[in-house]
Amino acid sequence: MKDVNFNHEDELSIAIWQTPFLDSPGLVLEQMAVQAEDAKMAGANLLVCPEMIMTGYAIGTHKLRQYDYNDQQNWTLAITKIAQKNRIAIVYGFPDYEKSPVIYNACQFMNEQGEVMAQYAKTHLFGELDRSQFSPGPVIGNCFIWRSWRVAMLICYDIEFASAARTLAQQGLDLLVVPTANMKHFDQVPQILVPARAYENNCYVVYANAVGQESFNGECIEYGGLSTVASPLAQLVQANSEAQLLMVRINKQYLRTSQSTSQLKDQRLDLYI
């Protein structure tokens, strides 16, 4: 990205932890602490983890039921300490048990002070795997302000629905964070749809995927990596299919340049359902 003059809050450095799913929440927290420290040393303000990083994604309802709301609170407390120690914001995916027996596929945005800024439950469930494990979230959610940026979250399959991102864009969205567990053979999502969502909604999109494998009902589930950060004007960076900590810098002045000529001001909302 070409250098320009900017105010401190105009710039964000973002780290994506592209990782295989680990064997236990304890191991996840240990590794998250390492990744947060490495990301902060590299200058990152935000660490983004994949969908359902805390437990794994394709684990089945029986294993999901081995955890409960007390476990969820303990994970939040541990991640609070990681964020505070490293002075870095963290987005992470987890099963939300607060309304048990309903379980949501959720993510949380925790700021660098360890405060939860927002929580979101996945609204669009993908196939038998998602629907057998989770209930759909009831609402798309809202933008919130972090470091003067208007931020929102979606999860994985949600980004494939143009209306989901557009609903957030109509709130003045700057940065859309998308934890995901996108499988191989769906590479068109990071390669085509993520840049398209950034362009058509005049925002940055951060798409953080997993790699490696899990097993569901005897079937091997393989994750495709290709974590991506896209701006309204270009794909800024894309990972390969290996585990890595991906770094990218984004700047609000570039965003404002694009937004000044945005097509959003000309849309005919009266024509749409």
Residue 161's CB is within 10 A of a number of other CB atoms, namely: 16
Pairwise CA distance, residues 30 & 234, whole Å:
35
Q: Is residue 184 part of a domain?
A: yes
**Which spans in the chain are helix H?**
25-41, 60-64, 69-86, 127-133, 162-169, 188, 194-201, 252-259
Domain tally, the chain: 1
pLDDT digits (tens, 9 = 90+) for 47-72: 999 999 999 999 999 999 999 999 99
The 10s digit of each residue's pLDDT in 214-271 is 988 888 999 999 999 999 987 789 999 999 999 999 998 888 877 777 777 788 778 8
pLDDT of residue 6: 40
CATH number at 38 reads 3.60.110.10
* 88 domain residue, yes or no: yes
Residues spanned by the domain of 146:
11-261
Q: Supply the pLDDT for residue 3.
A: 34
The mean pLDDT of 175-194, rounded to a whole number, is 97
Distance, in Å, from the CA atom of 198 to the CA atom of 151, rounded to the nearest integer, reads: 13
Is residue 173 situated within a structural domain? yes
| CA distances from residue 18 to 162, 193, 235 in whole angstroms, order as listed | 25, 19, 17
In a domain, 23, yes or no: yes
Active site residues: 51, 122, 156
In a domain, 79, yes or no: yes
Q: Is the residue at 270 inside a domain?
A: no
List, in sequence order, every beta strand (DSSP E) within the chain. 11-18, 46-48, 89-96, 104-110, 116-121, 144-146, 149-153, 175-179, 204-208, 211-216, 219-224, 228-230, 235-238, 244-251
Residue 49 inside a domain? The answer is yes
**266 in any annotated domain:** no
pTM as predicted: 0.94
